[in-house]
Chains A and B, each alone.
Chain A
Amino acid sequence: MRALCWEGADELAVRQVPDPELRNAQDMIVRVRQSVTCGADLPLLAGRSPYLVAGDVLGHEFLGEVVEVGPEVRRHRVADRVVVCAAVSCGACWYCRQGLFACCDNGTAGGPEAESAWGQPVGGCYGHPARTGGFAGSHAEYVRVPYADVGAFTVPEAVSDDRAVFASDAAPTGWLGAELGEVGPGDVVAVWGAGAVGQLTAGAALARGADRVVVIDDHDDRLRMVERHVGAEPLNYRYVDVAAELRERSGGRGPDVCVEAVGMAAGPPGLLGRLGGGAERPLALREAVHACRKGGTVVVLGTWTGSVDAFPLGAVMNKGLTVRSARQHGQRWIPTLLDRMARDELRTEHLATHRLPLERAADGYALFRDRTDGCVRAVFTP
């Protein structure tokens, strides 16, 4: 089959790779109909992960059609149209039973090495190095889906592919952000980052009844989307003092909930970074901590894999902040999100600013990485 392979820092190529095969009884094979770029791919693309290997297939947010099921798959059959959660989780361990699917004990195929990076193993993800997966990515014609009954969801007929594909990762991440912030009526919420994740977080905060939601970025095209499609207030950090502006918009208190939806820098790694070390500069996170009201909550949705530099712990401590973070536990929310999509309460199509055949996926990533031509997400069709 054809697949988008990472060939080295900033080098991608669509190549012929072996078709995936059933490796476990709970696996199924999905023929991909749509697969989307994600901010989480950018550090990988830039070569910031020392564990990605040339030839690895990228992509983790996808939707498709079931073409083969393993003997232990109960909920799906051939020809089902499914959206697949980007997180690979077993559904049976203690963490999965608590709804902490992204913390699954059995979601990676790596050995004990998977434990050494963060002290414990975490759930898997498609298109990531072995220690957070061991599963090929979705920018391909076919994908193997482990724990198919747990991670794949039949898409209601009323929901188009174009909309449902965002239920794989971006929409549940937005939902996670609003839930970790325990956003509710009366809250002022500020979200850093107007990518798909930031926009869907803002939408989730409004859906939970937030009074005011402000989204911060420096891309005017993305900020216009925030206004038009999400109904949140844009704030361009290039032109205003973010802290002063947020204070003004929150009665001098500061936002109750501050969400960081930016993540690691996507540029080339420094020398230490290439060796798997070095600390990131969490600019938006620092700003969020400073802006947040006393006793408020800072939610970290952006992807971080190592250490950050100059984290303002003093502000956290002295203002009594709560800092929460997670990778999305999509299995918990995808059915609800698909229902909301079917009722037209959650619309995501506008995020797919660029649609390209898989063969042109490298061009799609260039647009997405450089944020040229108003690109928010590029969707590939094999």
Chain B
Amino acid sequence: MARMGRLTAAGIALAAAGATATGVVVHRRERSPRAAGSDPRPGRWQVVTVAGRPEEVLPLGRWPEPLRRLDGAVELHARPAPGGRGTELAARPLGGDPGFPGLGAHLVGDDPGRFLRQALREAKQLAETGEVLRADRSRLDRPAASG
């Protein structure tokens, strides 16, 4: 089984094999498809696969932005994805329980799962493309040019 690197802001330590990032959750009752936001385990791992090897995605084992800002509030795991698909980057609120004692509301808002997912997406984009893609500014964001 693949080993997963456990990360702290200071560096990588290898965690036990088969860490729970992709662990199977057994539900008592199948209710599917489930609407977004109704996850019965809001503290679950959020995972993205980033193109590139772990040492490229996390040079010197340092957390990528914008996850670095969340040090102390989330745990982060990285491991090579199978078949050369890159690096699986997983994050979840420290403690893992729905109460998120380590996650300040000021940091993550009222939907930590969504917040983490967005942070992972941005980390992935930064690693893959060098920037975070921004939408066009809408008409409402700024006044129309004169004329």
| Docked complex Cα distance between A121 and B117 (Å) | 12
Does B51 lie at the interface of the complex (its beta carbon under 8 Å from any beta carbon of A)? Answer: yes
| Docked complex Cα distance between A359 and B45 (Å) | 51
Q: Which residues of B contact A1 (CB under 8 A)?
A: 145
Q: Which residues of B contact A91 (CB under 8 A)?
A: 129
| Docked complex Cα distance between A134 and B147 (Å) | 25
Residue of A nearest to B126 (CB): A106
Does A317 lie at the interface of the complex (its beta carbon under 8 Å from any beta carbon of B)? Answer: no
Does B137 lie at the interface of the complex (its beta carbon under 8 Å from any beta carbon of A)? Answer: yes
| Docked complex Cα distance between A226 and B51 (Å) | 43
The one of B114, B129, B134, B135 in contact with A90, judged by C-beta atoms closer than 8 angstroms, is B129
B136 touches A135 (CB 8 A): yes
Closest beta carbon of chain B to A55's beta carbon, Å: 5
B142 touches A147 (CB 8 A): no
Known: A16-B145, A112-B117. A21 touches B137 (CB 8 A): yes
The one of B118, B124, B144, B147 in contact with A106, judged by C-beta atoms closer than 8 angstroms, is B124
| Docked complex Cα distance between A173 and B140 (Å) | 34
The one of B128, B131, B137 in contact with A25, judged by C-beta atoms closer than 8 angstroms, is B131
B114 touches A147 (CB 8 A): no
Closest beta carbon of chain A to B132's beta carbon, Å: 8
Known: A109-B133, A111-B118, A144-B136. A90 touches B128 (CB 8 A): yes
Q: Which residues of B contact A116 (CB under 8 A)?
A: 36
Q: Which residues of A contact B (CB under 8 A)?
A: 1, 16-21, 23-26, 55, 72, 90-94, 97, 105-112, 115-116, 121, 130, 134-136, 144, 146-147
B135 touches A134 (CB 8 A): yes
B51 touches A97 (CB 8 A): yes
The one of B36, B117, B124, B138 in contact with A105, judged by C-beta atoms closer than 8 angstroms, is B124
Closest beta carbon of chain A to B32's beta carbon, Å: 12
B144 touches A17 (CB 8 A): yes
Beyond A72-B130, A93-B51, A107-B133, 18 additional contacts (C-beta under 8 Å) are: A1-B145, A18-B143, A24-B132, A55-B139, A72-B131, A90-B133, A92-B51, A92-B129, A94-B49, A105-B128, A108-B133, A109-B136, A112-B121, A115-B117, A130-B135, A135-B136, A136-B136, A147-B129
Closest beta carbon of chain A to B53's beta carbon, Å: 13
Known: A97-B51, A112-B114, A112-B118. A106 touches B145 (CB 8 A): no
Does B64 lie at the interface of the complex (its beta carbon under 8 Å from any beta carbon of A)? Answer: no
A16 touches B144 (CB 8 A): yes
Prevailing SS type, chain A contact patch = loop
- 8 closest cross-chain pairs (CB), A and B: A134-B135, A109-B135, A23-B134, A112-B117, A92-B128, A116-B36, A90-B129, A136-B136
| Docked complex Cα distance between A302 and B121 (Å) | 29
Residue of A nearest to B125 (CB): A106
Closest beta carbon of chain B to A374's beta carbon, Å: 35
Q: Which residues of A contact B41 (CB under 8 A)?
A: none
Residue of B nearest to A70 (CB): B131
| Docked complex Cα distance between A262 and B86 (Å) | 37
A–B Cβ pairs within 8 angstroms, 9 of them: A24-B133, A25-B130, A26-B129, A93-B124, A94-B86, A97-B51, A109-B135, A111-B114, A130-B135
A18 touches B51 (CB 8 A): no
Closest beta carbon of chain A to B93's beta carbon, Å: 16
Q: Which residues of B contact A105 (CB under 8 A)?
A: 124, 128
Q: Which residues of B contact A21 (CB under 8 A)?
A: 137
Q: Which residues of A contact B137 (CB under 8 A)?
A: 18, 21, 23
Closest beta carbon of chain A to B33's beta carbon, Å: 9
Q: Which residues of B contact A72 (CB under 8 A)?
A: 130-131
| Docked complex Cα distance between A356 and B116 (Å) | 48
Q: Which residues of B contact A25 (CB under 8 A)?
A: 130-131
Known: A55-B139, A109-B133, A109-B135. A16 touches B147 (CB 8 A): yes
Q: Which residues of A contact B131 (CB under 8 A)?
A: 24-26, 72
B135 touches A19 (CB 8 A): no
Does B3 lie at the interface of the complex (its beta carbon under 8 Å from any beta carbon of A)? Answer: no
| Docked complex Cα distance between A97 and B49 (Å) | 14
| Docked complex Cα distance between A227 and B131 (Å) | 48
Known: A25-B131, A93-B51, A109-B134. A18 touches B118 (CB 8 A): no
The one of B86, B121, B128, B142 in contact with A18, judged by C-beta atoms closer than 8 angstroms, is B142
